[in-house]
Amino acid sequence: MKKKHIGFGIVGTGMVAEFHARAIDQNTALGAKLVAVSTRDPAKFKTSANLFGVPCLSWEALCRHSEVQVICICTPSGCHSAQTIEAAEAGKHVIVEKPMALTLTDADAMIDVCARTERLLAVVLQRRAVDLFQKIFRAISAKDIGDITAGLVGVPYHRSQAYYDQADWRGTWAADGGGALMNQGIHLVDLMIWYMGDPVDISATASTCRNAIEVEDTLAARLRFENGAMGTILATTAAPPGFPHRVEIYGTKGGIQIEGETVIRWRLTNPGKAVVKPVESQRLAGSGAGADPSGIDIAGHTNLIRNFIMALRNEAPLLVDGPEGRRSLAAVLGVYKAAGIGN
């Protein structure tokens, strides 16, 4: 039976918006349909309409559009909070790109208004929607690797000065909210928080080593978690030509090492007793998003849109709702506070 139509709108028409449009298109069987997009520059309306194949409207018109039920917010990070609140108050459900906001106060306001207006709020931390990372979460929850003892996040990326110069908001505290950790590293920090819990103690240091930007391009942090486990984070956008990120989780019965989007080792002291069968080591992929901001797999966005549609129909809970998105933001802001940087 054909699913009832669900109209999507996208605000922001940059690279990330194109990922959302593709993910919506890949969920047409569930009724997803891109209805309109919006950009702040009227001079770009025609170009954007041609690119996405739907009308390009003002923000106000998008919020008023009767066929738009869900708005994907793909604008600079500093716009996320105000636009989420305006969209929810206009009766729209919201999918907001990471980071959901630049402050916890703004994140709480977003969560509160969506609860008050009974609108769904999802945050695009899309690796939680990918089968591999869900399988790892189930294995950790089942204690297959025992009690967690340590974790590592490494983000050795490269972003050139030209990357920051292409838009006036990039690399600024007011609009980007941070650098290597907030913009690039938050996805991997989110996995660490999802797998290990929220940190209770943080120390960190940061600097701007290579790029002419306000925010940090290199940061190192040490975290301690409630159960006593330790974690480290290294995030940089000053590592040409750019390398794949890594996430590693270790426990008293084994460990899992991930590079890019693949498992390179999943070793257990007693694999025969594992609740979740370990994934076999896979061939290493290229540098992906480490060298190219567009070098990410569309599967996460596609699955996140699918999950959102199912949540709208009361068929599944949201994988990354507002409170879950807030957790990763809180961790990043905690690292910035420890490093003595930020707004």
Give percent of the chain above pLDDT 70: 95
Domains of the chain in sequence order = 6-126 (3.40.50.720), 128-291+321-339 (3.30.360.10)
- If you search the block for the tokens 């089942």, which residue do you land on? 142
Report d(CA 255, CA 268) in Å as an integer: 7
- Which residues, other chains included, contact 17 with Cβ-Cβ below 8 Å and sequence gap of 6+? 10, 37, 52, 72, 74
Cβ atoms of residues 186 and 98 within 8 Å: yes
Cβ atoms of residues 235 and 219 within 8 Å: yes
The letter for the amino acid at 290 is G
Q: What does the angle CA 198 – CA 204 – CA 207 come to, to the nearest 5 degrees?
A: 135
Within a 13 Å sphere around the CA of 316, how many CA atoms are in the beta-carbon half? 14
- Which residues, other chains included, contact 108 with Cβ-Cβ below 8 Å and sequence gap of 6+? 326
- Residues 139-155: tens digit of each pLDDT: 999 999 999 999 999 99
Burial class of residue 228 in the structure, from the number of CB atoms within 10 Å of its CB (0-12 exposed, 13-18 middle, 19+ buried):
exposed
The letter for the amino acid at 106 is D
For the chain, give percent helix, strand, coil, nearest 5.
40, 25, 35
Report d(CA 248, CA 231) in Å as an integer: 9
> What are the pLDDT tens digits along the chain (343 aa)?
456 899 999 999 999 999 999 999 999 999 999 999 999 999 999 999 999 999 999 999 999 999 999 999 999 999 999 999 999 999 999 999 999 999 999 999 999 999 999 999 999 999 999 999 999 999 999 999 999 999 999 999 999 999 999 989 999 999 999 999 999 999 999 999 999 999 999 999 999 999 999 999 999 999 999 999 999 999 999 999 999 999 999 999 999 999 999 999 999 999 999 999 998 877 666 666 666 676 678 899 999 999 999 999 999 999 999 999 999 999 999 999 999 999 7
Report d(CA 292, CA 256) in Å as an integer: 26
Sign of torsion over alpha carbons 232, 238, 239, 243: positive
- Residues 300-318: tens digit of each pLDDT: 999 999 999 999 999 999 9
Cβ atoms of residues 217 and 211 within 8 Å: yes
- Residues 23-56: tens digit of each pLDDT: 999 999 999 999 999 999 999 999 999 999 999 9
* Closest by Cα among 235, 285, 78, 256 to 170: 78
pLDDT on residue 281? 77
Residue 259 DSSP SS3: strand
Q: Distance from first CA to last CA of the chain, Å, rounded?
A: 51
Q: What does the angle CA 230 – CA 233 – CA 238 come to, to the nearest 5 degrees?
A: 165
pLDDT on residue 284? 65
Biggest distance spanned by C-alpha atoms of the chain = 62
Size of the chain, expressed as the number of residues it contains: 343
- Which residues, other chains included, contact 55 with Cβ-Cβ below 8 Å and sequence gap of 6+? 36, 37, 49
pLDDT on residue 4? 81
- If you search the block for the tokens 């702040």, which residue do you land on? 40
CB atoms under 10 Å from CB of 146, counted, come to: 16
Please state whether the predicted TM-score (pTM) of the whole model is above 0.75.
yes
CB atoms under 10 Å from CB of 1, counted, come to: 3
β partners of residue 97: 124
Cβ atoms of residues 84 and 121 within 8 Å: yes
